[in-house]
Chains A and B, each alone.
Chain A
């Protein structure tokens, strides 16, 4: 019975095969033609178009400007700069308020409460100085910039600007031997690299898809924007005259983002010339009509989808990270805590790169989520400088209620303008977060490419930071 069925199936397939020879190679074309004919006939019967005044004309006019050869890119940078400027300017005050509430007010109250309960010092240390403080840092440092940046970015997306960015970039990507659609996956990476890696499925050719996946990490993701914005505010903004501070820090963040785009192009080009050789394939990109953004809905979805999502992820990772930070800061081997051991050991290497040991340790602790880099750095810095007596638990003696207070801590930790610049560069160029690494493996099913995508950026990060540090020493 089963063989009989198999035989009939085989017969059907062989009939299909011989018929295919009979009718020649035009089956596909014939089908396509038939579909197009019918579609066009039906559309002509049912669609009536009043050509008098079409709104498409307005769309076309806007498109002519935003995708024009000369204005396209400057306009793109300008729009990005405005978004960052608004973020930088707007985030200061709420950040300070949150920090003074969560860290300066609530933390001592919790500590006192724990004391009245006679909680052992290590328990209140792990929970309050570790987990709670890390979480409080995440909320106060990251929430305000995210609550401003994400809605603005989502508004641009909703309006229909992203495909225009892709359109502008398309030519460059093709010249780099990559697929034009990589411009879209890159834009997706500006939200989340893991999402950008998955989005690379829209690219048909495996070669170009791999390039898109490997280079997606050069798009600054949600978790890294706040780091960029904060560090730019503290180090670059403060190096400029006060009335220019906001503009200069916004420009610095745009600069890093643009550098990321440039590196993504350069690395794509390098890959397509060496290990992933091949020609770029053609595709058509549709520019959707501009749609008036629905302000309220955008605010809602960007708050839920992005702000709360990223914040929640950050908090989830911050709690265990906070515990680890507290432990490495309070477990002693000899005279020094684990953190100090590591920091002292890695500091020469860090300084050599124009960074420091704290930053290196922070990036190891923050592998699960880029979101917690800044809080980790702050807590570690505070601990390393201030961890003098064991029982008190470090991290409570500083009152950090604004970016300028944060700056004081970092300056006390030996940070310079160079450290700030290199941290921004390193935040752009380091291994992807663990979620993204796992996603890359799931999408490529190859440890080799996962390893390339993981280690390539970090090697580049070391190299770029090193060169910057050397130039800095040479000229400044």
Chain B
């Protein structure tokens, strides 16, 4: 008996930082999104369980289904954690952010123009490589990312082992193994959403490498110019890249001041 008492006394501080302790602080607010402090975007490939994570956090029962393309519009909900109120936006699942179909634009425009405080990328652990393609693209747009390594139980069943700590080091952002269907990993996910949103965890996102020399030079030249005009824009390299590709939406945003207004 005394053992337990001692343990409890000495680990009080650890307890407070333990995510499972903090799960008690999760209040599912459903569709109540009044006066939120932070905005969380939920992105990922189709059929990785974004809506399940969404339901887990908000207590809403958005319909989930085992097939790609179920969510084509954004769904919004709210939750409160550690006395902070969050609005969470479930984006349509996409394989990339580079093409121009409506669902991809919804996702991309929100990550860029909606300026979420944290973007949670839900990743299918059984198909990590393909999912990383999207992760890398998102990391080019925004720094504040948390990776939810979802369907980890399914990966284990298929004898796939993922070294999440190395992955986190490689990507420069938190990586949380989870199985949203049964609810494991959700407390840890909340902990890191909170840490990234409040700035306790500083992300050092992976940057794409190995462009051709010409391209690297062009990006540098252009992003310098952009940085002078928009000094507080965090992702000048990405904007430069989009301009070089001739992305009309970004050109428009630059001309009509939308890009600039983001910075306020």
Q: A-side interface residues toward B, CB under 8 Å?
A: 5-6, 8-9, 11-13, 15-16, 19-20, 22-24, 26-28, 30-32, 34-40, 42-43, 45-56, 154, 157-160, 162-163, 166, 181, 184, 187, 198-199, 201-204, 285-286, 288-289, 291, 294, 300-301, 304-305
Stretch of B5-13, B26-34, B108-116, B210-218 contacting A (4+ beta carbons < 8 Å): B210-218
Report Cα–Cα, A48/B155, bound state, in Å.
Answer: 11
B130 contacts which chain A residues (CB < 8 A)? 39
Range of interface residues on B (Cβ < 8 Å)? 35 or more
A285 contacts which chain B residues (CB < 8 A)? 68
With A52-B159, A53-B159 as given contacts, are A27 and B244 in contact (CB-CB < 8 Å)? yes
With A31-B98, A45-B170, A289-B154 as given contacts, are A20 and B225 in contact (CB-CB < 8 Å)? no
Contact, CB under 8 Å: A202 / B103: yes
Report Cα–Cα, A187/B68, bound state, in Å.
Answer: 12
Contact, CB under 8 Å: B245 / A31: yes
Closest 8 CB pairs of A and B: A50-B159, A43-B129, A39-B132, A16-B243, A204-B101, A160-B66, A19-B218, A48-B161
Interface centre among B68, B126, B135, B226 (most CB of A within 10 A): B68
Contact, CB under 8 Å: B98 / A204: no
In angstroms, how far is the closest chain A Cβ from the Cβ of B129? 4
Contact, CB under 8 Å: B129 / A47: yes
Contact, CB under 8 Å: A20 / B244: yes
B98 contacts which chain A residues (CB < 8 A)? 28, 31-32
Taken residue by residue from 124 to 168, chain B's Cβ proximity to chain A (1 for < 8 Å, 0 otherwise) reads as 001011101101110000000000000000100111111110110
Asked whether any CB of chain A lies closer than 8 Å to the CB of B21, the reply is no
Residue from A11, A45, A199, A286 within 8 A of B47 (CB atoms): A286
In angstroms, how far is the closest chain B Cβ from the Cβ of A71? 21
Asked whether any CB of chain A lies closer than 8 Å to the CB of B23, the reply is no
B181 contacts which chain A residues (CB < 8 A)? 291, 294
Asked whether any CB of chain A lies closer than 8 Å to the CB of B199, the reply is no
Contact, CB under 8 Å: B254 / A9: yes
Report Cα–Cα, A266/B129, bound state, in Å.
Answer: 40
Stretch of B36-44, B57-65, B186-194 contacting A (4+ beta carbons < 8 Å): B57-65
A12 contacts which chain B residues (CB < 8 A)? 222, 225-226, 229, 243, 254
Contact, CB under 8 Å: B229 / A8: yes
Contact, CB under 8 Å: A37 / B210: yes
A32 contacts which chain B residues (CB < 8 A)? 98
Asked whether any CB of chain A lies closer than 8 Å to the CB of B231, the reply is no
- Can you report 21 A-B residue pairs in the complex whose CB atoms are below 8 A from each other? A19-B221, A23-B244, A24-B214, A26-B212, A28-B98, A28-B245, A38-B206, A38-B208, A39-B135, A40-B129, A45-B163, A46-B162, A46-B163, A48-B160, A55-B157, A56-B158, A157-B67, A202-B69, A294-B181, A300-B61, A301-B63
